[in-house]
Amino acid sequence: MNRTDATFTTPESVDQIRSVVLVGPQGTGKSALVEQLVTGQLGHVKEAEDPSTALGVVSAVHPLTGTVVTLVDTPGRPDFVGEVRAGLRAADAVLFVVAAGSGIDEATRMLWRECAAVGIPRAVAVTQLELARADWDQVVGECGRVFGEAVPMGLPVLEDQQLTGVLDLLGQVAHDATGESRALTEEEATRVEEHRGALIEAIIEQSEDESLLERYLGGEEISAEGLWADLTAAVSTARFFPIVPVNPPTGVGIPALLDLVVHAFPSPAQAWLPAVMTPDGGDFGELTAAADGPLVAQVIRTSTDPYVGRLALVRIFSGTLTPTSRLHVSGHLEWAVGHDLEDHPGHDEADERPGQLSSPVAGGTAPRDSAIAGELVLVTKLASAETSDTLSDDDHPALVEPWLLPEPLLPVAIQAASTKEEDKLAGALQRLISEDLTLRLERNAETHQLVLWTLGPAHVDDVLERLRERHHVEVVTEPVRTSLRETFVRRVSQQGRLVKQSGGHGQYAVVQLEIEPLGRGSGFEFVDKVVGGAVPRNYIPSVERGLRHQLAEGVLGGYPCIDVRVTLTDGKAHSVDSSDQAFQNAAAQALRAAANDSTVSFLEPVDLVEVLVADDFVGAVMADLRSRRAQVQGTEPGEREGHTVIRAEVPQHELARYPIDLRSVSHGSGSFTRSFARYDYLPANLARELTG
């Protein structure tokens, strides 16, 4: 992001700030809508990050009201839901962008429910009404069914399949692309009259003025100004969700949408605030969006800028941030997810000093001397701050609850393309993981692979591109190998004999072992049945050590051997040449000699999978699971209406592409969790494939 000398009017109070995040599937026109809002109405040309994979943020000042409007453009592909949730934390209101004719997909429905759970204000912008398959009445009906109290504020005017204007239901006038008004034609007046009553009744139903309904039913004409005041109150408190038709390429409907943003969406002082505590989990006190309050802010995104280095996008919830602020940086993701995260350990740093502040404006950034509660600003030189970390006053530290993190479930194994790239790869991955909370790194000690856990194929492509383009590291991918186990499948007796008594100090140890399988999960059991001192007591622990070491190394294919009982029944020792090491080696030799294709089988890891899917796709998902050698445990109604939970045990090898395939077979309605369940026998045909 280039530095510029762009001018930017600093808001005088939190009441002058509006922060809005745009969400919706790819292809609905979110980015074009942001550009039109900025270019056509706020007076700037937008130049932002690629919104297909990352947040695009731009702030501008409304020329008439002086309101600072910050627009957050989110990726539309499901692989970047983590960026969408970060965008939700950054903003005080949400604009759902729905393409007419495309329907409302499952990801949008889920996101609406998430917003409803915290009560964040929402509105709906309907795009692509010019397409042949578009049907205004149909999309409005679907919005009402899916979103609840979602009612149109205007009607589209279509001429030759082009949106040329919007009929204002409250003002009873027509608006063109510039926002200029004209009187309704007779036909338009009839259309407005047909739909205006539903809008008025919906507003009155949400009004806090209890006399309004009685006056309306009594025939009193309620003024548009009075209704607008009730509407904005209902919108800002998330009780009413306006629908606005827009055409981003031409600007039709944009002025009405901007009026809604400025006048109906809440200021930071009215908005929902996240939970906050002290870094040790104590009571921080009440948090209010006041410029003179204690500083509490959160890092929404971190990135590396070629001009200024490390850059953090920060949302300020309380207080004022300046380049001279003494900051406390807190990050404790383990509290949010319920377990320690190797890639994101808890940390608290004191006396951190921010670098320069700036606002993300069209064409680059505008330097700032300070920023107040409610603003989104860019901060340089926060060396220890990661995405989701909290910034607060050094003498009054705080911890803001992280946003909901999706679990990365698609693995990809990578390695440096050359030896000289290996050191660069380690540093680049560390930086990427600190920026992207949905990326997890696993160094598998058994398969010796470096595995990245991602949210989907687009996420994989984005990570590989960032490694290549930003960090100049070339990597190659390879199939993820499964961590297998070995086990004995039948009882076998075997002698281990180590006799070397020439050429200096000798080695002598003989052991007689009985090896037998145990049930899954039993581990290793060692039994001593030696009688008569055939193996001296001081060498019995040596035998067990040798057994444990060989079992860990594997007895047939190099995989750990589990669930076995080994009984030492007899042996021999030499008064001079026997030693601890000799008996360890003899025991290990006996295990290896006993192992062959008839006595040892391979085991594969099996996960417990819980799939949440829309009822319409339960049959297809269960058929797909069975094709993966799954053992379906049962089904039950999900907490979400119209959804079912399917529980099954599935071999890990069959889950390598499951996030991709589930999305396809469930039409995007499915999600799943996985956890290790047990090891089970690997079919012989797959054993040859997986073990080479």
Q: Could you give the domains of the chain?
A: 15-263 (3.40.50.300), 276-400 (2.40.30.10), 410-478 (3.30.70.870), 485-598 (3.30.230.10), 604-691 (3.30.70.240)
Helices 618-626, 658-665: axis angle to 10 degrees equals: 150
| C-alpha distance from residue 619 to each of 158, 264, 627 (Å) | 42, 44, 13
Between CA 74 and CA 375 the distance in angstroms is: 18
Reduced to 3 states (helix: H, G, I; strand: E, B; else coil), residue 119 is: coil
For the purposes of burial, counting CB atoms within 10 Å of the CB of 223, is it exposed (0-12), middle (13-18) or buried (19 or more)? exposed
**Average pLDDT over the chain, rounded to an integer:** 89
Between CA 207 and CA 234 the distance in angstroms is: 7
| 511-529 pLDDT, tens digit each | 999 999 999 999 999 999 9
| C-alpha distance from residue 44 to each of 41, 74, 248, 358 (Å) | 8, 20, 15, 17
| 424-464 pLDDT, tens digit each | 999 899 889 988 999 999 999 888 999 999 999 999 999 99
Q: How many CB atoms neighbour CB 321 within 10 A?
A: 23
Between CA 539 and CA 547 the distance in angstroms is: 13
DSSP bridge partners of 602: 486
Q: Write the single-letter amino acid at 187.
A: E
Q: How many CB atoms neighbour CB 1 within 10 A?
A: 20
| DSSP per-residue letters across 314-338 | EEEEESEE-TT--EEEEE-HHHHHS
What is the distance, to the nearest Å, from the Cα of residue 94 to the centroid of all Cα atoms in its chain?
A: 18
The pLDDT of residue 3: 43
* Count of helix runs (H) and strand runs (E) in the chain: 16, 36
Which H or E run includes 614? Answer: strand 600-614
| 564-622 pLDDT, tens digit each | 999 999 999 998 889 999 999 999 999 999 999 999 999 999 999 999 999 999 999 99
What is the distance, to the nearest Å, from the Cα of residue 208 to the centroid of all Cα atoms in its chain?
A: 38
Between CA 651 and CA 608 the distance in angstroms is: 9
For the purposes of burial, counting CB atoms within 10 Å of the CB of 186, is it exposed (0-12), middle (13-18) or buried (19 or more)? exposed
Reduced to 3 states (helix: H, G, I; strand: E, B; else coil), residue 411 is: strand
The pLDDT of residue 223: 78
| DSSP per-residue letters across 487-505 | EE-S-EEEEEEEEE-SSSS
Statement: residue 265 has pLDDT above 70: yes
Between CA 32 and CA 127 the distance in angstroms is: 10
For the ranges 198-202, 428-432, 493-497, the one whose mean pLDDT is highest: 493-497
Closest CA to 654 of 631, 620, 671: 631
Torsions phi, psi for 40 (to 5 deg): -80, -25
The pLDDT of residue 2: 43
Confidence of residue 50 (pLDDT cuts 50, 70, 90): very low
CB 591 within 8 A of CB 551: yes
Between CA 170 and CA 244 the distance in angstroms is: 13
- The stretch 88-101 carries a mean pLDDT of 94
Torsions phi, psi for 365 (to 5 deg): -135, 155
Between CA 533 and CA 580 the distance in angstroms is: 16
Q: Tell me the CB-side half-sphere exposure of residue 306, using CA atoms within 13 A.
A: 7
Higher pLDDT, 548 or 8: 548
Statement: residue 51 has pLDDT above 50: no
**Helix, strand, coil fractions of the chain, as percent rounded to 5:** 30, 30, 40
Confidence of residue 8 (pLDDT cuts 50, 70, 90): low
| DSSP per-residue letters across 274-310 | --EE-TTS-B-------TTS--EEEEEEEEEETTTEE
Q: Tell me the CB-side half-sphere exposure of residue 342, using CA atoms within 13 A.
A: 5
Confidence of residue 692 (pLDDT cuts 50, 70, 90): low
Token representation of residue 370 = 């300070």
Token representation of residue 541 = 């622990």
The pLDDT of residue 373: 95
CB 611 within 8 A of CB 658: no
Contacts of residue 239, defined as CB under 8 A and 6 or more positions apart, other chains included, come to 149, 206
CB 451 within 8 A of CB 412: yes
DSSP bridge partners of 515: 492, 566
| 327-372 pLDDT, tens digit each | 999 998 887 777 777 888 889 998 888 989 988 887 778 889 999 9
Q: How many CB atoms neighbour CB 350 within 10 A?
A: 12
Helices 106-118, 136-147: axis angle to 10 degrees equals: 50
Statement: residue 500 has pLDDT above 50: yes
Closest CA to 659 of 450, 435, 459, 483: 459
Contacts of residue 336, defined as CB under 8 A and 6 or more positions apart, other chains included, come to 401, 402, 405
* Ordered alpha helix ranges (H), 37-119: 81-90, 106-118
Token representation of residue 665 = 């077979």
Closest CA to 48 of 331, 336, 260, 359: 359
Greatest alpha-carbon span in the chain = 116
Closest CA to 578 of 534, 544, 548: 534
CB 38 within 8 A of CB 296: no
The pLDDT of residue 690: 77
- The stretch 637-665 carries a mean pLDDT of 94
Closest CA to 255 of 244, 243, 242, 265: 244
Q: How many CB atoms neighbour CB 209 within 10 A?
A: 14
CA dihedral in degrees (101, 105, 111, 113; nearest 10)?
90
Quote the pTM value.
0.87
